[in-house]
Amino acid sequence: MNYERQAGILLHPTSLPGPDGIGDLGPAAYQWVDSLKKAGFSLWQVLPLGHTGYGDSPYQCFSAFAGNPYMISPSLLLEEGLLHRSDLNERPLLPADYVDFNAAVKWKNNLLTIAYDRFIKIHPPLLVDEFEEFQQEEGYWLNNFSLFMAIKDSMGGIAWIDWPAEFRRREPASIEEYIRNHTEELDYHKFRQFFFFRQWKKLRSYVNESGIKIIGDIPLFVSYDSADVWANPELFYLDPNGKPTVVAGVPPDYFSETGQLWGNPHYRWDYHKETGYAWWIERIKANLSLYDFIRLDHFRGFYDYWEVPAGEKTAVKGRWVLGPGADFFNKVLNSLGSLPIIAEDLGDIRQEVFDLRDQFNLPGMKIFQFAFADDPTDPFLPHNYPVNCVAYTGTHDNDTTVGWYNSAPEVEKDFCRRYLACDSSGIPWEMIRAVWQSSARMAIAPLQDFMSLDTSARMNYPGRLGGNWRWRMVSNELSDELIRRTREINWLYNRLPELQKKKRKGY
């Protein structure tokens, strides 16, 4: 982990501006990186980049390895000659300030089909060679994923557990016959993955060349309706018919009398241990080819996790079960040589979880919005932050700072105003200032907080079905004045890359 003082912005690529209904990896992403550099940031944090499915959540994807094809940029496909300008003539009128997922996905699928058909027709030699190389390098997951998606498409999108038995059970004769008869459908999904990773890795190179590191995100659990579970049932607690025997969640707490029932299948950690955690190590390696740092979501689950019998309607009747603990991280460390990992250590956490985090010197997370329900000893107040942590005003799961303040109890509002020595009008920027001047090595805020936006710009409501992950910035929102103001605060609190470079040279 880099111990220089750094600062960054949390913004998912789908929130970038652009004409195709959803943020992508094209020109607006490069303009965004240029703005980050001008503003003096050295970090860009994103949410998981996986292929989203039902509910559009980046935390519930069809694969732990695949990328989101809806982030592929039509503008860049145009430059490659795989789209023509006439292909964009039928572009629907899509909203600029939020993602209409149904409309955007329909439009993107149409463009990607056109691009694939043209790729097959013109067969550009250099791209064909790159495509072949990609398939060889990523075969570990790509073959199963493309097969999973092709069968799912042919079944009208239903979950794999409802497929005919020969596909559900991956009976070799049926699978081999399907592959023989559906090479074009399989190649189509491989093509989409090829262009996602091609565009992302070019963007990442540009980000790094600009002096910026990317923080990515690995959800602890994978979606039940995923290629991972379908192709690797031995990794999970499933019955002979492929149904989970136990599922993930969290127990009842102050916020919920019935807890949260997530429904993801649990890992058979005993089996993972026997394999040297091979699947997990491949997963982390794959993510480190996309990011510079990884945030491990629900870090507690590596120490112990809440196990609920399948079929329960709530998370009440569960139990705590020990996870893989230090053995897992030792194996990962031995394989990778380092652990560029941030531990999401929020919630009701026992000391043993913090001990596991500290054993491997992993930075935890501090959320300023959580700080005002107690007194000045609260660990989420900036004056109490340790050096080895990542400090936030809020995250994608929180309301915007304006929205949080507007809905907070009066006693918390009063504490907040007293702590920041400001009135209500200055809350977002004064909270940013307090986080930035803390000892935390990394200071991050969502773009919505820099723009002082209210609840209408919130990214996610945990536990709410539908209506999440939709917020987008419009093209003129990152103004020269905002860039100037953010650069000033990065300079004031020694988070400007140029100052860190000067320090390294010993000036």
Active-site choice (56, 138, 228, 344):
344
Tokens 């990442």 found at:
204
DSSP 373-431: SS-TT-TTSGGG--SSEEEES--TTSPPHHHHHHHS-HHHHHHHHHHHTS-GGGHHHHH
Strand, helix or coil at 37?
helix
Which of 304, 307, 397, 477 is flagged as catalytic?
397
Directed axis angle between helix 125-137 and helix 139-154, to 10°?
100
Q: What is the DSSP string of 106-130?
A: HHHHHHHHHHHHHHHHH--HHHHHH
Is residue 481 annotated as a catalytic residue, yes or no?
no
Instruction: Give dist(CA 233, CA 259) in Å, integer.
Output: 27
Exposed, middle or buried: residue 246 (CB in 10 Å: 0-12, 13-18, 19+)? buried
Alpha carbon distances (Å) from 416 to 105, 274, 370, 422:
42, 50, 11, 9
**Residues in contact with 67: Cβ distance below 8 Å, sequence separation at least 6, in sequence order:** 49, 50, 51, 193, 196, 197, 200
What is the rounded distance in angstroms from the CA atom of residue 480 to the CA atom of residue 478? 7
Q: How far apart are CA 429 and CA 450, in angstroms?
A: 7
| Active-site entry in 20, 56, 228, 297 | 297
What single-letter DSSP state applies at residue 236?
Answer: B
Tell me whether residue 257 is one of the annotated catalytic residues: no
Query: Beta strand 319-322 with 304-309: parallel, antiparallel or unpaired?
Result: antiparallel
Q: Does the annotation count 397 as an active-site position? A: yes
**Are the beta carbons of 71 and 14 closer than 8 angstroms?**
yes
User: Which residues are identified as catalytic?
Assistant: 297, 344, 397
